Structure 1
């Protein structure tokens, strides 16, 4: 009969529950794992299987009672690290959603909105189309596997400890938020530029022929030009999205670089 002492049992539980908490934090936020259409049972089962694989490879974990105050603090520490790493990739998709929102509003499709199960809010048709395209490219390029690799590597750069000095660079996470706006505008720039030229041409046409019904011909033309530009830029989206995903993975990997950088030094992913 196999018997365990209380200390051995606590050590066994700690070696599993600490990495499981960090893994579940990433799965709860990062796409495509964090999508609300994915059942909770699938997310939990995937996290448990991944924790069972990762736990034996980790160094010794803190010898703490999981239900003590320090144990709860370590648990919260691991959850924050996992959510922070997943939030980086969530912001990558937020920038793609912003590009679709800007493009849709410029095309005149601001009224064509749908319920987005990922964000639990409204989203335009162009934004959902770009997000679905980016998700398929993400799975095709095995970015989800690179995310899991970065998560496993974080246990070396941000080890599990009781000092509560995680080495987690939260400043980098905040600076990374600017990517939502800069990348979103860059992705939507071809469509916005083409529609700007179209609107200028319609304005000149209206001045030259005031009897034309601008509202009657303007909306079909801007929507048609917008869809034409979306079709034209689709073959060229592979490289920008690939660079964006790579940038996101590098930002996840650098979240633990604060241990070598002073806290007052601004970092950028």
Structure 2
């Protein structure tokens, strides 16, 4: 005889898992086949369902109540994935700011993995973040956080309120603030380089500043990036700590 409560619980757990996997930047890259994402969601749901408090068999409003419960689980998964996306995009946005100042913005190309325009330094820093995150078993941390979400936000118990909305907006604004802080040293050096070339152009008009400026700014920008690479270890640690804190605060708010 089929256990209706177990099937309902498994389905709702699978919905939350799938929503997170398909929205989290670590798993949602277009290079990962959808069947693999669905399979990962299914395996996680099978493992987590016995640990989750069973969902009610009857929902207020019948079928409409069940659909609202499904939408609630979709919202929880997407919200957690959205927070991960914001945090992972910090370094990518910082790299794009550096590219714009260096002059690499003109080499932006369409990235089939994300469906958007990507620049050289931005893509490099984005992949570097993913490699470091995988190297420290960050993907396991995300899975543990997702499993913990069923304890902090039980099935069908999630709710969106004013503090949750303000939290998401705060994380969104912090994304750009952190990106500016990360890119600020290189941008400052390149602005000084621009001012120096402007002064040289005034004192030596016969020099072709435009032809000299492009390779000079590339050399200065890449050199500064290489010098600052050791500092990215502390930046990555700060970002990953921020990710854990934001996920916890979001789950607490949704509960």
TM-score normalised by length of structure 1: 0.88
1:141–1:166 CA distance, 2 compared to 1 (3 A): same
- Structure 2 unmatched ranges of 5 or more: none
Correspondence 1:1-269 to 2 at 5 A = 3-4=1-2, 8=3, 10-64=4-58, 68-161=63-156, 165=159, 169-258=164-253
**Maintained 8 Å contact 2:110/2:116:** yes
**Maintained 8 Å contact 1:153/1:253:** no
**Maintained 8 Å contact 1:62/1:160:** no
Structure 1 residue 164: deviation in Å?
5.9
**Maintained 8 Å contact 2:76/2:158:** no
Structure 1 residue 25: deviation in Å?
0.9
1:41–1:52 CA distance, 2 compared to 1 (3 A): same
1 CA distance for matches of 2:167 and 2:227?
A: 35
1:219–1:41 CA distance, 2 compared to 1 (3 A): same
**Maintained 8 Å contact 1:27/1:34:** yes
1 CA distance for matches of 2:254 and 2:183?
A: 37
- Structure 1 unmatched ranges of 5 or more: 261-269
Q: How many residues align?
A: 252
Structure 1 residue 169: deviation in Å?
2.3
Partner of 1:266: none
**Maintained 8 Å contact 1:116/1:122:** yes
Deviations 1:187-228 (A, max 9, x none): 111210110111111111111111111111011100111111
2 CA distance for matches of 1:164 and 1:113?
A: 40
TM-score normalised by length of structure 2: 0.93
Deviations 1:137-161 (A, max 9, x none): 1101111111111111111111113
Greater helix share, structure number: 2
Structure 1 residue 64: deviation in Å?
3.5
